[in-house]
């Protein structure tokens, strides 16, 4: 007797999809916990006054440098050894680094551990999205990305509430504990069938040198540029929201953790809408393009509108987060651009190079601040970033109906 076809819900509730989604929740919890506890943790380590911003930027850059290193490392391993090896290895590393973050006594120790945590964090999302893209039929990949994104963004919200309930060291312990619990849950996750079939073929896997042909390198770089506005918003506008609040002349201080929580609440709904929009339009590119334009509109409002109360500022954080809700849709697009033997390398490294783009963006922000001020400096950087990303999106191929069962030769 033949089995009846799976429903959409049955596909989405498969163990690999659920574990990828929960893994991204823990990933985002750790990634944005630093944004939430930046000020109290640095103050506890003796950093005060004008040094809070440059020291915060330094630690953020160390974390992002770890993401860059880990993005390449885990991506290659994902194609050579399998998606599951990356899922297990990355979560173990960042869970242990998270726990160690709660034990630090100096800024240099903080920097080293943020770098190590960054390496661990780099593998989670790319491997998870690759697995989701390969176990779901092509007409459901957008829904899969929507589920992963929604759970991940909730991790950012969870970071705020945990940090609000506990002091910053305990918040890091909680993140590490969540990761170790998830590691136990992953025991029953099965490998992607496309990767299992690939292992039986005499084809190079995870060879990063294969990216350096003109056509592949062009697609790879364009994919990275499409995602950079996401991390301009998160890494600059939201992370340093207290400084933007001061520039708007607000009497009451903006709390970074609250701004992060609200932005990620908005992004949760944005990820749902962008995923549904992609399914409705039968297009990744159109949905992403619409959200980039919406995000730029809200950037301008966030920077130039006459904000008079903290309530107005926080409402803008929610709206800006919503318009930033195309993160995993963008990673699905990157994964769909390349064959099975390079897919994990691309899907893991591309988002981490996007995250790493915050390093030059933050450096440019600090450089322009004395001459242009916080508001105008951010506006110049944001305008350039959005213009470049829209141009990159225009030149990328549409991947919505693309079959995933192919290899790069």
Express each pLDDT in 65-108 by its tens digit.
898 888 888 888 877 777 677 777 888 898 899 999 999 999 99
Position 20 scores a pLDDT of 80
H/E stretch holding 322 reads helix 310-323
Predicted TM-score of the model (pTM)? 0.78
Q: How far is CA 23 from the centre of its chain?
A: 12
Q: Tell whether 408 is covered by a domain.
A: no
Q: Tell whether 402 is covered by a domain.
A: no
Q: Tell whether 175 is covered by a domain.
A: yes
Q: Tell whether 193 is covered by a domain.
A: yes
Place of tokens 């890494």: 235
Return all residues near 354 (Cβ < 8 A) that are at least 6 apart.
224, 227, 228, 230, 231
- Taking phi over 0 as left and psi of -120 to 50 as alpha, with beta for the rest, 385 belongs to alpha
Number of structural domains the chain divides into:
1
- The pair of three-digit structure tokens given for residue 50, joined into one six-digit string: 């004008």
- 3-state SS, residue 204: coil
Q: Tell whether 400 is covered by a domain.
A: no
Q: Tell whether 401 is covered by a domain.
A: no
Q: What is the dihedral of CA 289, 291, 297, 299, to 10 degrees?
A: -110
- The pair of three-digit structure tokens given for residue 336, joined into one six-digit string: 């769909």
Which CATH number does the domain housing residue 277 bear? 1.20.1250.20
Q: Tell whether 3 is covered by a domain.
A: no
Position 359 scores a pLDDT of 81
Q: Tell whether 2 is covered by a domain.
A: no
Phi, psi (5° rounding) for residue 192?
Answer: -60, 130
Return all residues near 54 (Cβ < 8 A) that are at least 6 apart.
366
- 3-state SS, residue 252: coil
| Regions of the chain with pLDDT less than 50 | 1-2
Nearest Cα neighbor of 186 from 128, 129, 140 is 128
Q: pLDDT of 179-234, one tens digit each?
A: 888 877 766 565 555 555 666 666 766 577 788 888 899 999 999 999 999 989 98
Residue 333: domain span: 9-395
Position 202 scores a pLDDT of 65
């Amino acid at each position: 007797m033949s089995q009846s076809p799976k429903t959409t819900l049955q596909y989405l509730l498969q163990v690999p999809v659920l574990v990828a989604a929960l893994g991204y929740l823990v990933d985002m919890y750790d990634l944005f916990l630093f944004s939430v506890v930046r000020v109290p943790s640095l103050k506890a380590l003796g950093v005060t006054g004008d040094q809070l911003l440059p020291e915060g930027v330094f630690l953020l850059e160390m974390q992002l440098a770890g993401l860059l290193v880990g993005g390449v490392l885990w991506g290659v391993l994902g194609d050579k050894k399998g998606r599951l090896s990356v899922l297990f290895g990355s979560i173990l590393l960042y869970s242990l680094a998270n726990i160690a973050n709660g034990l630090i006594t100096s800024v240099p120790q903080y920097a080293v551990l943020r770098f190590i945590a960054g390496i661990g964090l780099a593998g989670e999302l790319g491997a998870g999205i690759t697995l989701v893209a390969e176990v779901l039929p092509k007409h459901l990949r957008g829904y899969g990305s929507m589920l992963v994104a929604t759970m991940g963004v909730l991790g950012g919200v969870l970071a705020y509430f945990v940090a609000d309930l506990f002091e910053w060291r305990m918040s890091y312990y909680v993140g590490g504990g969540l990761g170790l619990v998830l590691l136990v849950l992953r025991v029953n996750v099965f490998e992607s069938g496309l990767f299992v079939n690939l292992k039986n073929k005499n084809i190079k896997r995870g060879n990063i040198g294969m990216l350096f042909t003109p056509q592949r390198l062009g697609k790879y770089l364009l994919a990275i540029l499409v995602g950079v506005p996401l991390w301009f918003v998160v890494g600059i506008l939201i992370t340093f929201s207290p400084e933007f609040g001061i520039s708007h002349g607000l009497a009451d201080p903006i709390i970074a953790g609250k701004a992060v929580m609200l932005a990620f609440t908005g992004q949760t709904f944005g990820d749902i809408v962008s995923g549904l929009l992609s399914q409705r339009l039968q297009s990744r590119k159109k949905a992403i393009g619409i959200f980039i334009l919406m995000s730029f509109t809200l950037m301008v409002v966030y920077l130039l509108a006459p904000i008079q109360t903290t309530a107005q500022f926080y409402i803008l954080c929610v709206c800006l987060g919503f318009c930033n809700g195309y993160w995993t849709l963008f990673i699905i697009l990157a994964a769909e651009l390349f064959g099975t033997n390079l897919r994990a390398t691309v899907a893991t490294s591309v988002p981490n190079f996007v995250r790493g783009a915050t390093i030059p963006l933050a450096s440019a922000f600090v450089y322009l601040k004395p001459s242009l001020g916080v508001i105008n400096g951010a506006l110049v950087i944001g305008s350039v970033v959005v213009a470049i990303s829209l141009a990159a999106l225009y030149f990328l191929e549409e991947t919505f109906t693309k079959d995933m069962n192919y290899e790069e030769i």
